[in-house]
Structure 1
Amino acid sequence: MKQQIKKTLTSATLASTVLLASAGNGNPLLMKSNLPFGAPDFSKIQEENYLPALESGIEQERQEIKKIVENKAKPTFENTVLAYEKCGVLFDRVSSIFFCLTSADKTPGIAQTEKKVMPLLTQFENEVSFNQKLFERIKYVYDHEYNKLKGEDKKLLEEQYKSFVRAGALLSKEKKARMEAINNRISDLQQQWGTVLPDATNHAVVWVNDKSELKGLSEADIAQCKKDAEARGGQAPYCIVIVNTTQQPILASLENRELRKRVYEASIHRADGTNQYNTFPIVSEIAKLRAEKAEIMGYHTYAAYSLEKTMAKNTDNVYGFLKNLIKEYKPLADKETQDIESFARKTMGEDFKLEPYDRFYYSAKMKKELLNISDDDVKPYFNIDSVLVNGVFYAAHRVYGLSFKERKDIPTYHPDMKVFEVIDKDGKDIALFYVDYFRRPTKRGGAWMSEFAKQSGLRKQLPIIYNVCNVAKAPDGQPTLLTWDETTTMFHEFGHALHGILSNCKYNTLSGTDVARDFVEMPSQFNESFASIPEIFDHYARHYLTNQPMPEELKAKMLQSITFQPAYALGENLAATCLDLAWHNIAGKDVPTAEKAQEFESKVLKEIGLFDTQIPPRYSTSYFNHVWGGGYAAGYYSYLWTEVLACNIADYFKAHGALDPAVGQAFRDKVLSRGNTRNLMNMFTDFTGLKEPNAESLLKARGM
């Protein structure tokens, strides 16, 4: 994920039968939208509307909870659990819109509002989490009705009860006060992170004075460098923008070694204190606070606390899974590096030492020589519009029977966006889907999916889903052409979207993508498999000028190239995963200071056998947004864990008919539509027949 934007409250705030607040000085966010599906009316919403609307949403939910707490009747599922599920409709609706913009279009006005909003939301989260009377009512229902309930009702009660317990509802008064203070401070720090890291990444652009330095780039890429320079103030005629990962894709093409070094170092040093940006103080304090939070809750480490609610369950299972992969990976990685360095020495001399900023360049040249293929050979066949309509949408039509109709009448928050109505095979409208694919300075890095509204039967709400990516938009009049990685990213994020679009649950709390972290990435990673299925591939991979499909010889080379030198991609992921676990699998007293953070990172990687200057972590500690700014603390392993699930499911599809609508319907019925209404491992088993995930599928799929 792509990373998703989660609601601030520990218990989701959901549909309500209470009437929405009145128009309130004409604030459009306080009025129910008249657009299809209740879509946000961005033609009317102004930046100054968000703060008062969020304040109104908080107050309305506060009053709804007060009514539950003051109910003199004995607590029941209906008057307590269901009533709480119905709370917060206004807050839920407004916050979903606002938090979309804080990630996808964070203008100075939105940034200022966020600074004011976050303390209010954290305070309210604490207020609800530690509302003893509300918890006592929910606990009474849990103690007296849990065994009598069935299906989604039983699961809803379980999720509500456990969310309060995990937030500290059973703690003493003194410990609750400390937990509240910790929550407030972590919120402050994450807000700082959300400001510092994007600023650091934007500041890390590499300015280029002469076009000759860009030798190796295509004319389209050079034009993009010029466009990026103009958009960032024009300190030089050209600039190279740094993306969120450690390695920069542009290094595969740049011939100028000194420029490659500058780009790589700008990436790895963007926020480590070697310039005016230093996130290590934030990292160290967040890690200490998380460790303390876990200790208060009775766990040895934050990882133990966090993993309890996942499929993996504990750190032993995660480390066991990772160490098996590392054992298989390490000899392949060493050989891969040796092969690239040997190849480079054929032209650079026997004394040439391969550096990390050289790897992508010589790997690409090696691939070109062995397979006679490069990104520039295939990009003309990956027009973003064709990938979306003839690839992503076509696959969903073939497998699930879905159709997509563009809705130009529905306003968006940015003119580059598109909106589509999603129509089921019976002709009924089932969702609204937005795409926001092009990068801009107001958008954070990466790609993700989230929603303006989740599906809910109780709420009678159809899902309103969006995907966000960071593709460089071509200059006016030219098509935007993608790399294969960007193409699969679109399929990936749409897999998340399908998880939301095809949800068919009664309760909003349980619907769509609200599942464990080490399950939520499975539908997205599985959906990537459709990108290379011949019928799908041939349908979208067409030359942007001639509309001719990719020639068979080129297609064979390209598909072969997907698994060319596969160790790097696995290694960078393993390294980042182990860093995340290391920071969260220690006691608070052992968390390193900001000054020792870089040393800690190196030590951790050496101990587990992943310290390799040639294959650095996909995200280093100082810019690991998933962990310090997002919801993946002690959970980044889930990308590899769910890749195994996805490979197992792809194997099932392949064996039973990859594009067979009956197989697609079974997957929809047993997995995609079910949200968090059942045990996740049971859902996986029901579809695949496997009692546990088979990791061999991952290595095979990666060509290892």
Structure 2
Amino acid sequence: MPETSAHVGDALLDAANPFAAPSPLPYGLPDFRAVRIEHLRPAIVAGMAGQRAEWEAVATDAAVPDVANTLERVERSGRLLRRAMTVFHTLVSAVGGDEIHALESEVAPLLAAHGDAFWLDRRIYDRLESLAHAAALLDLDAETSWLLHTYRKNFVRAGIRLDDDQQERLRALNARIVTSETEFSQRVVKAMEAGAVRVEDPAELAGLDEGTVAALARAAADRAGSTLTMPGGGYLIPLMLPTQQPLLARAADPGLRTRLLEASRTRGTGVDPASDTRATLLEIARLRAERAELLGYPHHAAYVVEDNTAGSATAVNEMLARLAPPAVRNARREAAELQAAREADPAARAGALAASDWVYEAERLRKERFSVDDDVLRPYLELGRVVEHGVFYAAHRLYGLTFHPRPDLPGYADGVRVWEVREEDGRGLGLFVGDYYARPGKRGGAWMHSLVDQSDLLAERPVAVNNLNVTPPPPGQPTLLTWDEVRTCFHEFGHALHALFSDVRYPSLSGTAVPRDFVEYPSQVNEMWMTHPSVVARFARHHATGEPLPAELLEKVLSLGSYGEGFATTEYLGAALLDQAWHQVVPGQVPAEPGEVEAFEREALERAGVHLDLVPPRYRSTYFNHTFGGGYDAGYYSYIWSEVLDADTVEWFKEHARADDGGLNRAAGQRFREALLSRGYSQDPLESFRDLRGRDARIDPLLVRRGLTD
């Protein structure tokens, strides 16, 4: 039997360390009860050493390269490191704290060097090249052929063809980039905490319901009792990651709205020196540009997109340029409507519409035009019911899945819940972990990640996690969501399904390990079920009375159509275009001084035709963690690129409706699962789409959805 990384790594780690052996829990769920932060560093160091030894064994193997002694041994390697890193990344992103962040800063460059040790090893690359030349004689199956192709491509992209001096320069760049990305992400979290808005006078909270006010009082009390010193009493409005803050839609006091948006927009700009991100983001942009130049690309965006389904920065630019004019046109029209409504309301404050007024006035106009009010909807949108009777119910109707609470299995923080996911015939599929609440130290936004990746080679089944940042209610009170937060629940679960349904042999091709501009596609498709009549009927019930959401109110919600899409599309495009602007430059074009960041932003948005003072970008550069924290650098366009596939697929489900069920049936679900969700990255993802749709995607359904047609 081939030696696995569990054996190699375990020999280098104290047996008392909980990472020294695979988790004894079902599906390999990490035993968070046994893990302490001091266990992580030795496990990570031993894991890297163990994997290096495994790579060395592959590189020095005298046998003729074949699948078993090369590809499979690489895929099996590093199991100790993988166990430790999944827990480490979970604690960094979802728990935070100075101790884990200090460890993150320490190990980030070590991990970068570890990756370079593999991707710049010419001996392993030569074995893969030999294997590729013999592939025709070996009669490789399709997935193995794709894996071999993927490795060879990634070695070239990682710099295997550079000479020794160039590779040494590349190693230094990679280490500096990952160190700076880590610093940026940590500063973004600190900036959210430092920017929280303090309210002393309860009169400023006019427009907010009692539950929200109580939650803000609790946030102030929690902050006063934490290491983040703040006087007791009063109220505290924590910041969320995007520019627009949820409370802006309900806060009646224009002064509070101004303060809240200003606190959000100025994060990272030096208002709090300890969380100033400007110098860091400039260094990241410059280093990425230098690396791209070294690797032979005109800029970092070209390097990134080459490995995505878009294929070229030109294709990305053309799509964004096509969408920007109609989006801005619609945003200007919406602004005029809001200003007119503001002037027509004698109770409204006089004066021109400001950026801080937009979402408040839009919410007022929505109530007037559609009689839809988030405060009216919230009592019908209780978190537990949304998840178990909405998200899970749709998955049951489509895929036959059932979800079984496992309170015996540990989470990593209070409020984290675990469910076992079973197939229609009762077989266990994997675990789903829900972490829905905000907490100090948790990074903002919503995301999905895996604790265990499905793999036939390793005989592992998936464990998927969904993360949101819902404000915890006061003790004993229900967690009531906004309509947008319900959408986020469905969206993130679409990612979880992509991981849970993975049916591949190799772990590196599992689940969501697809190009960035494809990974959002399945999650966006899953959003369609939140408005399905039979799904809404089950989750939208009053938390106290159990009464269903009135039919006329649901009809009004559904009638919103593309209302507000001018604003939503323009603020999104602002961020996507900033991302491209920072990454379509050569090193000398990156500003030299932190004070130049704002001017760079303004010029980029003006050049693209999306600079509107009333519609700031969804993320400004100084807190744009998607792009400067790593993961979506030069790839934030992915959301709308994926939405082209998503909107076309929504039409496919409608075409496969049975008895007016809108496609919410087992036959359609099974087809979507087999053709797309199960494939992971075992083939070209666009081939998976063509397998489902029978053709390439068309953009027309997206243009109609967002109101961007003439």
Shorter-chain TM-score category? over 0.9
CA contact (8 A) 1:15 1:458 kept: no
Which residue number in structure 2 is paired with residue 565 of structure 1? Answer: 564
Which residue number in structure 1 is paired with residue 494 of structure 2? Answer: 495
In 2: Cα distance, 1:582 partner to 1:429 partner: 46
Which residue number in structure 1 is paired with residue 607 of structure 2? Answer: 607
**Equivalent of residue 182 in structure 2, options 178, 191, 214:** 191
Which residue number in structure 2 is paired with residue 271 of structure 1? Answer: 268
Provide Cα deviations, 1:37-88, integer angstroms capped at 9, x if missing partner. 1211112111111111111111111111111112112222321122111111
Q: Detail structure 1 runs of 4+ shifted over 3 Å in the superposition.
A: 14-20, 347-351
**Equivalent of residue 698 in structure 1, options 665, 681, 702:** 702
Which residue number in structure 2 is paired with residue 357 of structure 1? Answer: 356
CA contact (8 A) 2:6 2:21 kept: no
Q: More deviation in 330-339 or 557-566?
A: 557-566
Which residue number in structure 2 is paired with residue 105 of structure 1? Answer: 95
| Superposition pairs of residues 153-192 of structure 1, within 5 angstroms | 153-192=144-183
Q: More deviation in 346-355 or 61-70?
A: 346-355
In 2: Cα distance, 1:556 partner to 1:539 partner: 16
For residue 467 of structure 2, give the secondary structure of its aligned residue in structure 1: strand
For residue 559 of structure 2, give the secondary structure of its aligned residue in structure 1: helix
Query: Percent identity at matched positions?
Result: 37
For residue 232 of structure 1, give the secondary structure of its aligned residue in structure 2: helix
Which residue number in structure 2 is paired with residue 116 of structure 1? Answer: 106
Provide Cα deviations, 1:264-319, integer angstroms capped at 9, x if missing partner. 10000011123313211111111111111111111111111111111110111111
Q: Which AA in structure 2 matches 1:217? A: L
In 1: Cα distance, 2:452 partner to 2:39 partner: 19
In 1: Cα distance, 2:70 partner to 2:549 partner: 59
Q: More deviation in 142-151 or 223-232?
A: 142-151
- Are 1:661 and 2:666 an aligned pair? yes
Provide Cα deviations, 1:560-590, integer angstroms capped at 9, x if missing partner. 2363222111111111111101111111111
Alpha-carbon distance change, 523 to 401 in structure 1, aligned in 2, over 3 angstroms: same
Scaled by the length of structure 2, what TM-score is found? 0.95
Q: Which AA in structure 2 matches 1:426? A: D
Which residue number in structure 2 is paired with residue 208 of structure 1? Answer: 199
In 2: Cα distance, 1:440 partner to 1:275 partner: 21
Deviation at 1:130, TM superposition (A): 1.7
- Are 1:89 and 2:72 an aligned pair? no
Provide Cα deviations, 1:457-513, integer angstroms capped at 9, x if missing partner. 010000011111100111111100000000010000000000000000010111100
Deviation at 1:333, TM superposition (A): 1.4
Q: Which AA in structure 1 matches 2:254? A: R
In 2: Cα distance, 1:122 partner to 1:100 partner: 19
Provide Cα deviations, 1:197-241, integer angstroms capped at 9, x if missing partner. 110111001101111111111111111110111111153510111
CA contact (8 A) 1:20 1:32 kept: no
CA contact (8 A) 2:9 2:51 kept: no
**Equivalent of residue 683 in structure 2, options 661, 678, 696:** 678
Provide Cα deviations, 1:429-466, integer angstroms capped at 9, x if missing partner. 01111110000112000111111110000100000111
Provide Cα deviations, 1:600-628, integer angstroms capped at 9, x if missing partner. 11001111110001111100111100000
Deviation at 1:119, TM superposition (A): 2.5
Which residue number in structure 2 is paired with residue 59 of structure 1? Answer: 49
**Equivalent of residue 128 in structure 2, options 134, 138, 155:** 138
Q: Which AA in structure 2 matches 1:697? A: P
- Are 1:524 and 2:530 an aligned pair? no
Q: Which AA in structure 2 matches 1:232? A: R
For residue 432 of structure 1, give the secondary structure of its aligned residue in structure 2: strand
In 2: Cα distance, 1:559 partner to 1:224 partner: 30
Deviation at 1:703, TM superposition (A): 4.5
For residue 647 of structure 1, give the secondary structure of its aligned residue in structure 2: helix
Which residue number in structure 2 is paired with residue 639 of structure 1? Answer: 639
CA contact (8 A) 1:15 1:85 kept: no
Which residue number in structure 2 is paired with residue 299 of structure 1? Answer: 297
Which residue number in structure 2 is paired with residue 243 of structure 1? Answer: 240
In 2: Cα distance, 1:19 partner to 1:179 partner: 29
| Superposition pairs of residues 293-442 of structure 1, within 5 angstroms | 293-347=291-345, 352-442=351-441
CA contact (8 A) 2:109 2:179 kept: yes
Which residue number in structure 1 is paired with residue 65 of structure 2? Answer: 75
In 1: Cα distance, 2:695 partner to 2:153 partner: 28
**Equivalent of residue 35 in structure 1, options 22, 25, 29:** 25
Deviation at 1:145, TM superposition (A): 2.3
Which residue number in structure 2 is paired with residue 128 of structure 1? Answer: 118
Q: More deviation in 396-405 or 293-302?
A: 293-302
In 2: Cα distance, 1:656 partner to 1:132 partner: 50
Which residue number in structure 2 is paired with residue 50 of structure 1? Answer: 40
Provide Cα deviations, 1:138-175, integer angstroms capped at 9, x if missing partner. 22222332684331110111111111111101101111
In 2: Cα distance, 1:679 partner to 1:618 partner: 31
User: CA RMSD of the aligned region, Å?
Assistant: 1.6
Alpha-carbon distance change, 478 to 161 in structure 1, aligned in 2, over 3 angstroms: same
CA contact (8 A) 2:5 2:51 kept: no
Q: Which AA in structure 2 matches 1:109? A: E
Q: Which AA in structure 1 matches 2:99? A: G
Q: Which AA in structure 2 matches 1:237? A: G
In 2: Cα distance, 1:684 partner to 1:124 partner: 35
For residue 435 of structure 1, give the secondary structure of its aligned residue in structure 2: strand
Which residue number in structure 2 is paired with residue 225 of structure 1? Answer: 216
Which residue number in structure 1 is paired with residue 227 of structure 2? Answer: none
For residue 194 of structure 1, give the secondary structure of its aligned residue in structure 2: helix
- Are 1:281 and 2:279 an aligned pair? yes
For residue 434 of structure 2, give the secondary structure of its aligned residue in structure 1: strand
In 2: Cα distance, 1:78 partner to 1:43 partner: 37
CA contact (8 A) 2:448 2:495 kept: yes
Q: Which AA in structure 2 matches 1:662? A: A
For residue 10 of structure 2, give the secondary structure of its aligned residue in structure 1: coil
List gaps (5 residues or longer) in structure 2: 225-229, 658-662
Which residue number in structure 1 is paired with residue 660 of structure 2? Answer: none
In 2: Cα distance, 1:19 partner to 1:303 partner: 38
Scaled by the length of structure 1, what TM-score is found? 0.96
Q: More deviation in 378-387 or 327-336?
A: 327-336
Q: Which AA in structure 1 matches 2:671? A: A
Which residue number in structure 2 is paired with residue 11 of structure 1? Answer: none
Deviation at 1:350, TM superposition (A): 10
Q: Which AA in structure 1 matches 2:169? A: R
In 2: Cα distance, 1:377 partner to 1:562 partner: 19
Q: Which AA in structure 1 matches 2:398? A: V
Q: More deviation in 102-111 or 131-140?
A: 131-140
Provide Cα deviations, 1:242-275, integer angstroms capped at 9, x if missing partner. 1100111101111111111110100000111233
